[in-house]
Structure 1
Amino acid sequence: MNAPITPLVLAVSLFMEQMDSTVIATSLPAIAADIGTSPVSLKLAVTSYLVALAIFIPISGWMADRFGAKHVFRLAIGIFAMGSVACAFAGSIEGFVLARFLQGIGGSMMTPVGRLILVRATRREDLVSAMAWLTIPALIGPLLGPPLGGFLTTYLSWHWIFWINVPISVAGILLVTRFLEDGAPREPRPIDLPGFVLCGLAVAGIVFGMSVVSLPALPIAYGYATIAIGLAASLGYVRHARRAPFPLLDPAMLRHPLFRAGILGGSLFRIGIGAIPFLLPLMLQLGFGLDAFHSGLVTFVAAAGALSSKFVARRAFRAFGFRDLLGFGALASALFIAINASFTPATPVALIMACLYAGGVLRSLYFTGVNALVFAEVTDADSSQATAINAVAQQISLATGVALAGAILDVSSRARGGAAGLTLADFHTAFLGVAGVAVIAAAVFLRLPREAGAAVSGHRARPAPAE
């Protein structure tokens, strides 16, 4: 691998995607006011993006094998840019949701295909370092996103937060063309079209339905109906996958204990993390009375903490191993999610930023480890399946976090009568709720052996003392 050139070039997509998600989170109140809806209702646009990711990610590995990972990666960047332009021109919630869905189609191929290229080009013992290099530039997106999005929204127009994706996309396509190799041709598995339909219905139904249930702008019956469709499609897919010779997402991959732990533990933790970009900017603006720009100046420090952790990731996992660092890291990270429930307008800004910074450090180490752990036992032949399953699990859990946060806000508001709209107490309740889900992830990893994934982390447990 031409490290760190390969992961840095691949990180262009992560940079753009992560900056876009943090920018829109900061700008939700302004966008909602301009297109005539509420900030909580506009979370449907956030969810539609995640639904698109979860629907199309399962075929990303097959697309990369069939048409070449480099070509698919470049096409995905172009589609993402087209969706960004459509967002800038959207004048209604319906148009904005559809534009975000188009962005999601591009994003569904960018990140997983980029990660697949990296995994195939990296030795397993170098995987932690490679994942850290991949995410360092990507973390600049969340670092710049909140203050940049707040500045553009406050002093120019929210439309500019999407226009900036166009030059970044052009630069990304040029860098990929110049520096990435085409790679050896691969023979893809036969495409599982029935599985693709069932999987798409399952993911879209469940994630969209959860969002609608907590969305006062749409009849709640729509939400329950789509959840029912999603659950039925999920059962149908499980039955189909047991009989299909080449299932789209192969359940047999869960036979690998470390892969299984990474998927389950990572998903539980991401439910809590997925809610933060939605909850925190809204709490600072609706609960604290800050404008978008000053809200962004507060929240960007979490990304700064995440960025700083990448330089010590390899040494940390070599010293403590996956089990201890992921297990106790999940406990500490969940605590820092819950700390958000103690913030009030009287809390010193420096203290809030210090807590957000520390939480960013812990979460970044956690995700670097999880993304490496899921490939610790996976062969090169199964890497596309592992990438697709891991990416789908990530997006479903992130979407679940957004939907869960919205549901808690709505339930809390209704319990008070809802006449005054969302209050600070509603946000505090939501943070405690999602932190409670994230803390469960610790139990998944603390059950692993001490030397789990040692070939990747380089960790060796100390021998027991002689009697």
Structure 2
Amino acid sequence: MTTGPTGGAHGGLHRGLALLVAGAFFMEILDGTVIAPAAPHIAEDLGIAPVAVNVAITAYVLTLAVLIPISGWLTDRFGARLVFTSAVGVFTLASLGCALAVNLPMLVGTRVLQGVGGAMMVPVGRLVVLRTTAKADLVRAIAYLTWPALVAPVLAPALGGVLSTYASWRWIFVLNIPLGLGALVLSRRLVPDVRGDAPAGLDRRGFALTAVGVAALVVGLENVGAAVPDPAVVAFSLVIAATSLGAAVVYLLRTPRPLLNLRILRVATFRVTALGGSVFRAVITAIPFLLPLFLQLGFGWNAAEAGLVVIALFVGNVGIKPATTPLMRLFGIRTVMLGAVLASAACLVGIAFVQVTTPLPLLLGLLLLSGIFRSVGFTAYNSVAFSDVDQPRMNSANTLMSTLQELGAGLGVAVGALLVRVGEGLTDGSADRPFRVAFVLLAVLLLVPAIEGLLLARTAGDEVTGRA
């Protein structure tokens, strides 16, 4: 492996590089959900039905999930600096195209292009940070890379609602342009030319099976949660997804140089984040998506009001951040992780019982607590993920983790919409009750990461937190 001017593969924490990658991560996550609250305004401007705007959201998430698996191979083949810089350029150019879109096909096409850039930006950037940071500094590095996942999904509903209500939905994408141009300048100075010493050929069969399976899964779940689901599309997509992903797992476990190295899941600390952590991420990501809709449809609030209330989650995220590392050192990652998962489930149940007469300070306090446990949980999972992964397998581990986390975050919105439809079938048709059912079912889903966390060793991750 070779590196550029920022230092060796096992140097200290390069704060500038970590912040640059965090900024790119912020843009990528923000654009995944920011247009959801602006959908009615986009539809009115483009002369289409509001439900049709979901295609633009799905196209972005789908492109990310399909292309992330080849990010590691591209880094080894062409070098991190070239891939990262090109990805930022593509993302910025695509953002301009989204802002100038005059019809739905143009918006969807530019969103796909955004997904191409996003699929390369974040995994490659995170890989560089992991490869150039000593294990003793890993928790601090992960802290920089965690805040975008905490802040962006919470700011997205508020930003999308405010801009679309009081300005124009096109500003949602215009804001990316100065950020992207700044990242382009900084990336040439800060991103080292990390690459593999002898990159293998691309596992085309593994890529094809994974891409088809992931694409079919996203399409199937999105259609299940659609306003008017098509049973034929749902059934066909989910059958293709199950068949292709099943074949992919068998193939990837047998081939000597797989696109996604599933053997790394034998490392317990990595597995708990890759599997249970992805479920946690999906559930938590669904909250900022469902909550504004719940407040608008159930309580009669407008998009701006509902989006701004979600800022309470952000306050909790940021407020607890300085205390997360000391908490992990004091109690251990396993204990902190389990506490965050169970407390998040309790907050979801609390949200399900909020009424239109609930005092605003009480609602804000509940969301503040939810944001706190969201932040603690994400930090614990991200800190333990690579604690026992050796450097030769870091590329493979990062690629697999990026794929699963992106899929989890993207499917969180689809699962949230699906659970609302389940709620519609279990209630009397009132506007708020399907959302209440969805919040309770999301809390039940958190049993998966809770059980997996219980099986983790009490000393897991002690080396990276300094508790050992």
Is 1:351–2:384 an aligned residue pair? no
Name the counterpart of 2:211: 200
Is the 8 Å Cα contact of residues 215 and 406 (structure 1) preserved in structure 2? Answer: yes
Name the counterpart of 1:256: 267
CA distance in 2, matches of 1:70, 1:30: 38
Is the 8 Å Cα contact of residues 23 and 161 (structure 1) preserved in structure 2? Answer: yes
TM-superposed deviation, 1:112: 1.2
Name the counterpart of 2:38: 27
Is the alpha carbon distance of 1:411 and 1:123 closer, same or farther for their aligned partners in structure 2, counting shifts above 3 Å? same
- Residue pairs, 1:45-124, within 5 angstroms: 45-124=56-135
| Match 1:437 to one of 429, 445, 448 | 445
CA distance in 2, matches of 1:61, 1:184: 9
| Match 1:152 to one of 145, 150, 163 | 163
TM-superposed deviation, 1:335: 1.5
CA distance in 1, matches of 2:69, 2:458: 32
Task: Classify the secondary structure of the residue corresponding to 1:77.
Answer: helix
Q: How many matched pairs?
A: 457
Q: Structure 1: which amino acid aligns with 2:371?
A: G
Is the alpha carbon distance of 1:323 and 1:404 closer, same or farther for their aligned partners in structure 2, counting shifts above 3 Å? same
Is 1:236–2:214 an aligned residue pair? no
- Residue pairs, 1:383-422, within 5 angstroms: 383-414=394-425
Is 1:459–2:467 an aligned residue pair? yes
Deviation string 1:149-204 (CA, Å, 9 cap, x unpaired) is 33221111111111111111101111112233334663223210111111000111
CA distance in 1, matches of 2:41, 2:359: 26
Name the counterpart of 1:299: 310
| Match 1:364 to one of 347, 361, 375 | 375
Is the 8 Å Cα contact of residues 78 and 169 (structure 1) preserved in structure 2? Answer: yes
Task: Classify the secondary structure of the residue corresponding to 2:453.
Answer: helix
TM-score by length of 2: 0.91
Name the counterpart of 1:13: 24
CA distance in 2, matches of 1:278, 1:140: 13
Structure 1 unaligned regions, length at least 5: 461-467
Q: Choose 408-417 or 438-447, whichever is displaced more.
A: 408-417
Q: Structure 1: which amino acid aligns with 2:22?
A: A
CA distance in 2, matches of 1:32, 1:426: 24
Is the 8 Å Cα contact of residues 13 and 137 (structure 2) preserved in structure 1? Answer: no
Is the alpha carbon distance of 1:130 and 1:66 closer, same or farther for their aligned partners in structure 2, counting shifts above 3 Å? same
TM-superposed deviation, 1:457: 2.0
CA distance in 1, matches of 2:158, 2:279: 29
Q: Structure 1: which amino acid aligns with 2:436?
A: H
Name the counterpart of 1:379: 390
Task: Classify the secondary structure of the residue corresponding to 2:357.
Answer: coil
Deviation string 1:415-461 (CA, Å, 9 cap, x unpaired) is 5576xxx711111111111121123211111221211121112224x
Name the counterpart of 2:454: 446
Deviation string 1:233-254 (CA, Å, 9 cap, x unpaired) is 1122123223322110112111
Is the 8 Å Cα contact of residues 334 and 435 (structure 1) preserved in structure 2? Answer: yes
CA distance in 1, matches of 2:149, 2:286: 19
Is the 8 Å Cα contact of residues 352 and 440 (structure 2) preserved in structure 1? Answer: yes
CA distance in 2, matches of 1:47, 1:435: 24
Q: Structure 1: which amino acid aligns with 2:168?
A: S
| Match 2:433 to one of 410, 420, 425 | 425
Is 1:245–2:253 an aligned residue pair? no
Is the 8 Å Cα contact of residues 131 and 372 (structure 1) preserved in structure 2? Answer: yes
TM-superposed deviation, 1:95: 4.3
Deviation string 1:276-305 (CA, Å, 9 cap, x unpaired) is 132112122222222222222211221222
Q: Choose 34-43 or 320-329, whichever is displaced more.
A: 34-43
Deviation string 1:106-128 (CA, Å, 9 cap, x unpaired) is 11111111111111111112211
CA distance in 1, matches of 2:450, 2:426: 31
| Match 2:343 to one of 310, 316, 332 | 332
Q: Choose 61-70 or 80-89, whichever is displaced more.
A: 80-89
Is the alpha carbon distance of 1:330 and 1:416 closer, same or farther for their aligned partners in structure 2, counting shifts above 3 Å? closer
Name the counterpart of 1:463: none
TM-superposed deviation, 1:359: 1.1
Is the 8 Å Cα contact of residues 274 and 398 (structure 1) preserved in structure 2? Answer: yes
- Residue pairs, 1:170-319, within 5 angstroms: 170-183=181-194, 186-217=197-228, 219-319=230-330
Q: Structure 1: which amino acid aligns with 2:294?
A: M
CA distance in 2, matches of 1:362, 1:38: 37
Is the alpha carbon distance of 1:134 and 1:254 closer, same or farther for their aligned partners in structure 2, counting shifts above 3 Å? closer
Is the 8 Å Cα contact of residues 133 and 310 (structure 1) preserved in structure 2? Answer: no
Q: Choose 230-239 or 174-183, whichever is displaced more.
A: 174-183
Is the 8 Å Cα contact of residues 157 and 288 (structure 2) preserved in structure 1? Answer: no
Is the 8 Å Cα contact of residues 35 and 160 (structure 2) preserved in structure 1? Answer: yes
TM-superposed deviation, 1:139: 5.0
Is the alpha carbon distance of 1:219 and 1:148 closer, same or farther for their aligned partners in structure 2, counting shifts above 3 Å? closer
CA distance in 2, matches of 1:23, 1:34: 17
**Which 4+ runs in 1 deviate beyond 6 A?**
none
Deviation string 1:130-164 (CA, Å, 9 cap, x unpaired) is 11123346655456544433322111111111111
Structure 2 unaligned regions, length at least 5: 1-11
TM-superposed deviation, 1:93: 4.7
Is the alpha carbon distance of 1:41 and 1:331 closer, same or farther for their aligned partners in structure 2, counting shifts above 3 Å? farther
Is the alpha carbon distance of 1:414 and 1:314 closer, same or farther for their aligned partners in structure 2, counting shifts above 3 Å? closer
CA distance in 2, matches of 1:305, 1:23: 20
Task: Classify the secondary structure of the residue corresponding to 2:362.
Answer: helix
Is the 8 Å Cα contact of residues 270 and 385 (structure 2) preserved in structure 1? Answer: yes
